[in-house]
Structure 1
Amino acid sequence: MSDAIVVSCLPCEGGLQIGVLTLNRPSSLNAINQSMIDCLYEQLLAWKQDERVVCIMLKGEGDKAFCAGGDVRQLFTALRKDVKAGQQEAEQFFSHEYRLDYLIHTYPKPIVVWGHGIVMGGGLGLMVGGSHRVVTETTRMAMPEMAIGLYPDVGGSWFLNRMPEKTGLFCGLTGCALNAGDALYAGLADRFLQHSMLQEVLDAMRLSTWQKESEANHAIVSKILRRFAKAAEPLIPESNLQQHKQQIQRLMDHDTLAEIYHDWLHYDTTDHWLEKAIKGFLQGCPTTAYLVWEQIKRGRHLSLSEVFQMELTLSVQCCLHGDLVEGVRSRLVDKDNNPKWRYASVLDIPKEWVETHFESLWPADQHPLSSLV
């Protein structure tokens, strides 16, 4: 077990229990590493088979973050030291992370994810699959991979495709910041509650009369959250995505990424939120922009398991192609914020370069996630 995951159980009537999993790295904004991923997976599997456990609560320690994402600096160190060893570490990290995300998506028992504070990257991967996803007044959500040369993974090919209009593609290309209102509008969350209500929610869950049937227990959780959400409703912030719906539709109304680039390069706005989003695209990794474009297109009709299989290939290939290592160096390690990308602009990128990122590294029957069904 990892010290960075606190496992506890709340006793309920009739010897039943609520399992509580707390990400416990507040100084690192609860960023998840390999040992945390494995701990969460093993515990969820154990509770899946334990008839006493009727519901799961997944939350983060501290007031600043649920989870700021995956700890990619560890991968950076491994890849810089030895590319072959780094590739093996990348395969292990991403395959374990995606297996965990898939388990959360398909879990039979209710999983309440308390998405307060920062919810980014791998944190969003943990959250979106939960049956009951809560955001609060402090929620700040994003898939900011454009900045580091990765792409919106952890099922992004699935959930970005299910956002209204083309807001999913817009969020992937810009890494724009989302508030709780955005998360509700985009279908990334189900309920808005005040962060101060957490203990009250846990108490209400503990005092509930739980059933043997999972479907009935899902309804119990829904009723509890609905009651608290009614009181918090006046505090829901306005959705930037919804407010900028017409502008986003106009910005995304192009057939190619090159057309988007030309349009956005000369787009004149005094709107701070929109300006920052466009800047995120123009200053981000050009290769990532194409990967986002392609993952949305290719992932549109894939099953959830096929999405994670495609993304594992894409993520490991990103580790081998160089831009991710350079992006992590520039943004997170040296912090000079001056990455030297392989290609300077989306206009310079050959189609063949993009295609190599989607080439599988394993025979079909040996894919590390071939067992996902």
Structure 2
Amino acid sequence: MNGSEQFIITEVRGRVGCITLNRPKALNALSLGMIRDISAALLAWREDPQVLAVAIRGTGKEGAFGSFCAGGDIRFFHQAALAGNPELEDFFTEEYALNHLIHTYPKPYIAFMDGICMGGGMGISQGASLRIVTERSKIAMPETGIGLFPDVGGGYFLSRCPGRLGEYLALTGLVLDGAHALAAGLADAVMDSGRLAGLWDSLGQTPYESGVAVERWCLNHVQKVPPKAHFPQADIDRVFALDNVKAVVQALEQAQGEWASETAQLLRKRSPLMLHVVLEQVRRARGMGLADELRMERDLVRRCFHLRPGAASETVEGIRALAVDKDHAPRWNPSCIEEVSDAQVVEFFVSPWPAHAHPLHSLR
């Protein structure tokens, strides 16, 4: 078992490849070493006829489950960006390649999205053939709050949510419970968290004849009548289909009702620049295949850290305010939605690499 202090535990139990994220103090935030360990296990098991399916879970402070993965290691992003550490580039290239590997994996891949599952945690779960949430799940792509965009394939999977829900979730970074994740198409089944440990233990002890049988076995343990949840879909579709962020916020601020005013207040706290970039990202992604969408995200993330390098980066400033100084007072640049120009947004979508030299050129 290789790995950074065994932050990733991989084992074959019976005929199932089992991955446990084991960095509970950091809510299983992904490091480059962890991404490499997960990738290595998946590549080995892909070719291993003994392994019929893969299951992945996180650990919480009390032991197995309770927290899936809070995302990428943003403190590392901050330090690496300020120090000019080339591992920052490797991190995103290898993370997005892993996201692609999961989406295109030929064997069932079952993700137990118990507890926090955000950002990079969504990247290693949304491509699963079976996405299981619980009553403890907290599901989100909250990147606009740190001057980033929903990456790890976020443009791809959010743009495929019903109606304009993708724009709404991408811009606000709203945290969903398990039932709302199901309604958004970001989960497939809900399970009582109390049944997780028993199901996990049984994976290694049950004789399966196929990967499909492993999935079927898991589905036997989920709630037969999942809880219903609803979004204000008509309002979301009307407002988040508008041409640009300014129009969206204006419509919300002029509308009556709690949902509109809360949503407007939320958007006013996010990075104005990245709100514009993210709206464009989701709309472009809707017409793209996964590989092209991940290449676009790789371009975007390069721009996030290098268009204005070091401390001037919108993302570095957002992480500083949230996770480093923790003053929760980011100095966004531009400082309000109305000041962002089209030219500032367009820059993000120009690839810094020719197609043949793109770090993800080999993804299909």
TM-score, normalisation: structure 2: 0.92
1:74 aligns with: 76
How many correspondences in the alignment? 352
Q: Secondary structure at the match of 1:8?
A: strand
**C-alpha displacement of 1:57:** 0.9
Q: Secondary structure at the match of 1:67?
A: coil
Give the distance between the partners of 1:225 and 1:291, measured in 2 at CA. 39
Give the distance between the partners of 1:51 and 1:138, measured in 2 at CA. 35
Q: Which protein has the bigger helix share?
A: 1
What is the identity, as a one-letter code, of the residue corresponding to 2:239? L
- CA distances 1:28-82 after superposition (whole Å, capped 9, x unpaired): 111111000011001110111111111111000124410000002112112223x
Aligned-CA RMSD value = 1.7
What is the identity, as a one-letter code, of the residue corresponding to 1:217? G
2:302 aligns with: 316
2:98 aligns with: 100
**Equivalent residue for 1:334, pick from 312, 318, 325:** 325
Give the distance between the partners of 2:113 and 2:121, measured in 1 at CA. 9
1:303 aligns with: 289
1:369 aligns with: 360
What is the identity, as a one-letter code, of the residue corresponding to 1:329? R
**C-alpha displacement of 1:253:** 4.3
**Equivalent residue for 2:237, pick from 240, 246, 249:** 249
- 1:217 corresponds to 2:219: no
Equivalent runs, 1:140-289 vs 2, <5 Å = 140-211=138-209, 216-218=210-212, 220-229=213-222, 232-233=223-224, 236-239=226-229, 242-270=230-258, 276-289=262-275
- CA distances 1:89-136 after superposition (whole Å, capped 9, x unpaired): 332110100000100101111111000000000001111001111001
Give the distance between the partners of 1:250 and 1:359, measured in 2 at CA. 30
1:133 aligns with: 131
Q: Secondary structure at the match of 2:55?
A: strand
Q: Is the 8 A contact 1:57 1:112 kept in 2?
A: yes
**C-alpha displacement of 1:254:** 2.0
Q: Is the 8 A contact 1:137 1:194 kept in 2?
A: yes
Give percent identity, aligned residues only. Answer: 35
TM-score, normalisation: structure 1: 0.90
Give the distance between the partners of 1:270 and 1:185, measured in 2 at CA. 21
Q: Secondary structure at the match of 1:127?
A: coil
Give the distance between the partners of 1:351 and 1:178, measured in 2 at CA. 31
Q: Is the 8 A contact 2:71 2:118 kept in 1?
A: yes
Give the distance between the partners of 1:286 and 1:167, measured in 2 at CA. 19
Give 5+ residue unaligned stretches, structure 1.
12-16
Q: Secondary structure at the match of 1:196?
A: helix
Q: Is the 8 A contact 1:191 1:225 kept in 2?
A: no
Give the distance between the partners of 2:252 and 2:314, measured in 1 at CA. 23
Q: Is the 8 A contact 2:314 2:332 kept in 1?
A: yes
Q: Secondary structure at the match of 2:11?
A: strand
Equivalent runs, 1:104-115 vs 2, <5 Å = 104-115=102-113
Give the distance between the partners of 2:152 and 2:264, measured in 1 at CA. 23
1:293 aligns with: 279
CA 1:111/1:65 → structure 2, altered by over 3 Å: closer, same or farther? Answer: same
CA 1:276/1:30 → structure 2, altered by over 3 Å: closer, same or farther? Answer: farther
- CA distances 1:314-345 after superposition (whole Å, capped 9, x unpaired): 01110123100100001110011111111011
**C-alpha displacement of 1:300:** 1.6
What is the identity, as a one-letter code, of the residue corresponding to 1:312? R
